[in-house]
Amino acid sequence: MLKNYIKIAWRNIWNNKGYTFLNIFGLAIGITCAALILLWIDNEMSYNEYFADYEDIYTIKNTQTYGDETFVFEATPGPLAELMRNEIPGIGNVSRSASSESLFSHEEKNIHQTGKYVEPEFFEIFELKFIQGDPSTAFHDLHSIVVTESMARKFFGSGDVLNKTLRLNQGQSYVITAVIEDLPENISPRFRFSWLSPFKNYENANEWLQGWNNAIQTYVKPEANADIVSLNETLYGFIQTKLEDSESHLSLYPMDRWRLYNEFDKNGLEKEGIFKYVRLFGIIAGIILIIACINFMNLATARSEKRAREIGVRKVLGAQRKMLIVQFLSESVLLAFLATLLSIALIYIFLPPFNDLVNKQLILDLSDPLHLGALLMITIISGIFAGSFPSYYLSSFNPVKVIKGIKSKSSSAAFIRKGLVVFQFSISIILIIATVLVYQQINHVKNRDLGYDNEGLVFLPANENIKKNFQAISNELISSGAANELSLSGHTPVNIGSNGGGFQWPGKDPENDVLVSMESVSPSYIKTSGMELISGQDFNPNVEANESQVIINETLAKMIDKENAVGKVITRGDSQATVRGVVKDFVYNNIFGNETSPLILYPSSQDFNHLVINIDPDKRSTAVSAIERVMEKYNPGYPTELIYADEKLEEFMSNENMVGKLAAIFAGLAIIISCLGLFGLAAFTAERRIKEIGIRKVLGASVGRITTLLSVDFMKLVLISCLIAFPLAWWFARNWLENYPYRIDISIWIFVVAGLLAFLIAFFTVSFQALKAALTNPINNLRTE
Amino acid sequence: MIKITNLEKFYKTEEVQTLALNKLSFEVKEGEFVAIMGPSGSGKSTLLNILGMLDDSDGGSFLFNGEEVSDYNERKRAHLRKHNIGFVFQSFNLIDELSVFENVELPLIYTGIKLAERKEKVHSVLEKMQIMHRRNHFPQQLSGGQQQRVAVARAVVNNPKIILADEPTGNLDSSTGNEVMDLLCELNEAGTTIVMVTHSEHDARFSHRIIRMLDGQKVTENLNVLV
Ligand SMILES: Nc1ncnc2c1ncn2[C@@H]1O[C@H](COP(=O)(O)OP(=O)(O)O)[C@@H](O)[C@H]1O
Ligand SMILES: [Mg+2]
């Protein structure tokens, strides 16, 4: 029986190659899209699974509330780990950890590598795969280092590396005590490392770790039977048992949520991070698959009249409805299988560009039962879904009527068909609007006035050489005309790292603590950055003359004194400083934010990580080579890895960029698939009305008239789609934009453009068929015998 | 009005070449009623299609009102056709989705006539064809004879100079067939030229002249004795 079905199905497919191709191609695009997104989702969901017990591993989060806003950091004080070990029963293994990007050297090779200073218990918490050496001995000596296989290869090629040494930051040599397997790509980016070295090294170099600054990470793997809820209760007030008025409340944050969540709202409550994209793209991939299945439904039911006779005869000969349903379903599943075969080829073709887009190395592995199974599932589900309505509809034909040639008006099927087309186009239009909107928002942020010279700024990680020779470097670059101005700073503006509470000033309510960001700068910082001083004075070029003086931003100035904050004294604990000047608010950290948080720029002589250079954006390449030359002289042996402020800004929009690109792709696919369907439907309509067209032509209708006649019904559907899509798109747009306080207004032009685009594309698709029909010689279709 | 000389038409299918018209010549004068007869496949419909400018000939000449039509382009022919020729088919070829009124109205729309005038013309022709009471019905709600009367109404609504009818009674029983033939005669008496293809000797007798065809050639041409 099944063989008979498949035979018939095959003949049907073969005899209607055109329609079959449209169906298979549309379905294949849908399946390809769904498969690529599933691969991406699978990858996102598998983050950190590398560590088998990742559900039982935690980092410590630090929640602090200032006014009505709560902040969540992953930063803890230096003494915490030891106190936890001693005082919290059941806490299990605890390790401090500090990340560092450091320069390693071996012979001629100087390479920056990111790694961590950790305690030996780190190896108990994270089960790493040791290729050489073992965890128990890896940290026996202070100057030992564990490296990943690929880091080892970068320096030593394929040779044995155990007991070889690497120089760190052109100073101390470290002995390689173990080699571990590279971490896979699906590890939280901030956790990734290429090397590990004893925390003691970091502690020795940073005395402030003895204090209570929140600056390092603490990882925990509680004992197997530990009660996490009660551990969290203990941790919540733990810091306060040491430091009475601390704002810090600690909690355990599990590794299985590091990737997909790890964002927190104004109340400090966890919200979805990447996960919202996982869900969004999952839904969209599903919708694209549905759009592709709709093509099948529409073409199958539209062509039903042609098959009515077959169905009638089968029924007269005794076929039951159930059998017919099975027959039609096997046809659609067979078709879905053919589509899947095609889509496997498409997946292989489109995986590399897709990987570039999402910045991953996804692979399709057909020998992996998960991949094969998922593909089979998609095939069968879409086959059955696509065949559901047609089989139900076709099998309902009344055999007597059908054989007598009485055409049922089949208005229900036609109505559903129109509804499905409207669905397809509504989705397409929404996606077009989404694409335009995301790009507008990205551009809006890119072009916003940041309050500093984003195009002209270049950063270079500052080491001792650079700090020591700053004046000479500065003089040389400015006098040669390569740079306009130079300064030193702690961070780049998109990433100002330190903040804290506990500040007081005259007239401040002592109960209401304010979180203030702090950035250490050298005297020329404001000029170099191109920021605007709105009152008071800039720093004195002589560093010493700035003793206990700070420049604050407008927001903080308004908090201190609405009229004039200059000259006011800010205190924190034992230290105090006088406001020397007020800088116009510039955008830092939160580039999508509308309000600026309070900020203090304080002069420092040491506390710097970045050299800031202001160059002419038009003369970038000559400036860069001049900088490289000067650096070779003052900072030999270090690679000059410049960071451009505008590129750094782009990095912070990478999620938005990805969403924008994916939205564009989804919109394109939705439109392509919908148009394939429309193309088929238009062909079918032209075919069905071919006699009418002939009559009209004989009666004198022009080609233009007939084309319009055939197109107008479809155009009406697109119009209805617009009416449905616009309010929905507007609603989605408003919701999405709410994530960005600094945002565009939704302009009606987006809707006009999206509607017109859909309209034009649909019109070309349909009018092609209509024109073809209008141009055929009518007598071919009016033959009477 | 119509003069064809040595008209030829081939049909090429994959392997066979059919000579549907073979050096056919005859003339139709204004006001004449000509019947064309011949067995199935003798080329009658092909001839009518060419006369109606729906199809090209492959050789010979076709003068319509003294103009050589065979080398006119599609646009010019469509224009000539629209204003001069009405068609009646064996299978009526009414548009199922349009009402009687709308079917008859179509040629007027295509020649760009205003609504009020269209209404008037359609009504008068429907009245003449005695089908006025059915003007809001759809073709499938009518009998065969009524449908053909609608088709004739549609053919004449534009006041064409000539009506080309391909077996207009072929799908009708003899009494309704006669009604349609009476209609055509009336039109002819009012001055419309008619060229009609028919299988029926009975119908042919209504004409002034009978042209008999075989294998794309004219075999005889005689004046109708009854007239
Ligand atoms: N479109 C066509 N393609 C091929 N052959 C055709 C076509 N139309 C008609 N013929 C052939 O041309 C000949 C004349 O056909 P037709 O004019 O329809 O004859 P009639 O109307 O007298 O029955 C026949 O042999 C027919 O098979
Ligand atoms: Mg014929």
Q: What is the mean pLDDT of residues A232-237?
A: 94
Minimal CA–CA distance to B48: which of B139, B155, B153?
Answer: B155
C-alpha of A741 from chain center: 19
Strand partners, B211: B36, B221
To which residue do tokens 């889509």 refer?
A343
Tell me, yes or no, whether B53 lies in a domain.
yes
User: Residue A228, SS3?
Assistant: helix
Q: What is the mean pLDDT of residues A200-208?
A: 90
Q: Is B122 in the pocket of ligand 1 (CB under 6 A)?
A: no
Given a cut of 80, is residue A55 above it in pLDDT? yes
Residues of chain A with pLDDT > 70: what percent? 97
Q: Mind listing the pLDDT tens digit for each residue in A179-195?
A: 999 999 899 988 999 99
CB-based contacts of A212: which residues, under 8 Å, 6+ apart?
A77, A78, A79, A239, A242, A243, A246
Picking from A695, A702, A778, the nearest residue to B95 by CB comes out as: A695
Atom of ligand 1 nearest to the CA of B49: 17
A688, A778 Cβ separation under 8 angstroms: no
Query: Are B45 and A783 a contacting pair at CB < 8 A?
Result: yes
CA of A784, closest CA in chain B: separation in Å? 6
Q: Mind listing the pLDDT tens digit for each residue in A330-370?
A: 888 988 999 999 999 999 999 999 999 888 899 999 999 99
Tell me, yes or no, whether B140 lies in a domain.
no
Tell me, yes or no, whether B96 lies in a domain.
no
Q: Mind listing the pLDDT tens digit for each residue in A103-138?
A: 899 988 888 899 999 999 999 999 999 999 999 999
Backbone phi and psi for residue B6, each to the nearest 5 degrees, phi listed first: 50, 40
Ligand nearest to the CA of B36: 1
Q: For chain B, what is the domain count?
A: 1
Tell me, yes or no, whether B82 lies in a domain.
yes
Task: Find chain B residues with C-beta within 8 A of A694's C-beta.
Answer: 93
Domain limits at B73? 2-90+158-223
Minimal CA–CA distance to B28: which of B72, B107, B85?
Answer: B85
**Distance (Å) from CA B166 to ligand 2 centroid:** 7
In the sheet with B59-64, reading across from the earlier edge strand, the strands are: B17-28, B2-12, B59-64, B67-68
Residue A198 near chain B (CB below 8 Å): no
Picking from B94, B96, B107, the nearest residue to A700 by CB comes out as: B107
The predicted structure's pLDDT at residue A515: 87
The predicted structure's pLDDT at residue A304: 74
- Tell me which H or E stretch contains A726: helix A703-737
CA of A398, closest CA in chain B: separation in Å? 20
CA of A692, closest CA in chain B: separation in Å? 6
CB-based contacts of A396: which residues, under 8 Å, 6+ apart?
A321
Query: Are B106 and A699 a contacting pair at CB < 8 A?
Result: yes
Cα Rg, chain A, nearest whole Å? 34
Q: Mind listing the pLDDT tens digit for each residue in A757-780?
A: 999 999 999 988 888 888 887 777
Given pLDDT bands bounded at 50, 70 and 90, which one contains residue A249? very high
CA of A779, closest CA in chain B: separation in Å? 7
The predicted structure's pLDDT at residue A686: 85
Tell me, yes or no, whether B98 lies in a domain.
no
Q: Nearest 5 degrees, angle CA A536-CA A542-CA A547?
A: 65
**Distance (Å) from CA B43 to ligand 1 centroid:** 6
Residue A778 near chain B (CB below 8 Å): yes
The predicted structure's pLDDT at residue A318: 65
The pTM assigned to this predicted structure is 0.79
The predicted structure's pLDDT at residue A590: 84
Q: Is B49 in the pocket of ligand 1 (CB under 6 A)?
A: no
Query: Are A701 and B94 a contacting pair at CB < 8 A?
Result: no
Quote the DSSP letter at residue A216.
B
Given pLDDT bands bounded at 50, 70 and 90, which one contains residue A403? low
The predicted structure's pLDDT at residue B174: 87
Q: What is the mean pLDDT of residues A443-451?
A: 89
Instruction: Find the CATH number of the domain harbouring B203.
Output: 3.40.50.300
Mutation pick from B55, B79, B110, B163 vs chain A, by most beta carbons of A within 10 Å, is B110
Q: What is the mean pLDDT of residues A712-733?
A: 94
CA of A260, closest CA in chain B: separation in Å? 57
Given a cut of 50, is residue B58 above it in pLDDT? yes
The predicted structure's pLDDT at residue A68: 81
User: Measured on CA atoms in the order B140, B143, B144, B150, is the torsion positive or negative?
Assistant: negative
Task: Find chain B residues with C-beta within 8 A of A779's C-beta.
Answer: 49, 54-55
Query: Are A784 and B167 a contacting pair at CB < 8 A?
Result: yes
Tell me, yes or no, whether B199 lies in a domain.
yes
Where are the domains positioned within chain A?
2-43+276-443+654-783, 55-258, 454-652
Q: Is B44 in the pocket of ligand 1 (CB under 6 A)?
A: yes
Residue A706 near chain B (CB below 8 Å): no
The predicted structure's pLDDT at residue A785: 40
The predicted structure's pLDDT at residue A409: 53
Ligand nearest to the CA of B216: 1
Please provide the DSSP assignment of A306-372 as one string.
Answer: HHHHHHHHHHHTT--HHHHHHHHHHHHHHHHHHHHHHHHHHHHHHHHHHHHHHT------TTSHHHH
Q: Is B41 in the pocket of ligand 1 (CB under 6 A)?
A: yes
The predicted structure's pLDDT at residue A598: 93
Provide the Cα torsion B205, B211, B214, B217; round to 10°.
Answer: -170
pLDDT-wise least confident of A148-152, A208-212, A282-286, A493-497 = A493-497
Given a cut of 80, is residue B224 above it in pLDDT? no
Strand partners, A174: A166
Residue nearest to atom 21 of ligand 1 (CA): B45
The predicted structure's pLDDT at residue A410: 56
d(Cα B90, Cα B39) in Å, to the nearest integer?
16
d(Cα A769, Cα A500) in Å, to the nearest integer?
68
Backbone phi and psi for residue A144, each to the nearest 5 degrees, phi listed first: -110, 160
A779, B54 Cβ separation under 8 angstroms: yes
A336, A293 Cβ separation under 8 angstroms: no
Given pLDDT bands bounded at 50, 70 and 90, which one contains residue A307? confident
Q: What is the mean pLDDT of residues A404-414?
A: 63
Task: Find chain A residues with C-beta within 8 A of B93's C-beta.
Answer: 691, 694-695, 698, 782
User: Measured on CA atoms in the order B63, B68, B70, B73, is the torsion positive or negative?
Assistant: negative
Q: What is the mean pLDDT of residues A140-166?
A: 93
The helix/strand count (H/E) of chain B reads as: 7, 10
Q: Is B17 in the pocket of ligand 1 (CB under 6 A)?
A: no
Given pLDDT bands bounded at 50, 70 and 90, which one contains residue A204? very high
The predicted structure's pLDDT at residue A724: 96
Given a cut of 70, is residue A406 above it in pLDDT? no
pLDDT-wise least confident of A95-109, A580-594, A765-779, B35-49 = A765-779
Residue A695 near chain B (CB below 8 Å): yes
**Distance (Å) from CA A529 to ligand 2 centroid:** 90
- Tell me which H or E stretch contains A287: helix A274-302
Q: Which two tokens stand for residue A603?
A: 């002069």
Q: Mind listing the pLDDT tens digit for each residue in A688-697?
A: 888 888 888 8
Given pLDDT bands bounded at 50, 70 and 90, which one contains residue B207? very high
Query: Are A700 and B166 a contacting pair at CB < 8 A?
Result: no
Q: Which two tokens stand for residue A226?
A: 């530990």
To which residue do tokens 């960001």 refer?
A517
A293, A304 Cβ separation under 8 angstroms: no
A174, A165 Cβ separation under 8 angstroms: yes
> Which one of A17-26, A47-56, A325-334, A634-643 scores highest in mean pLDDT?
A47-56
d(Cα A474, Cα A477) in Å, to the nearest integer?
5
Whole-number average pLDDT of chain A: 89
The predicted structure's pLDDT at residue A2: 67
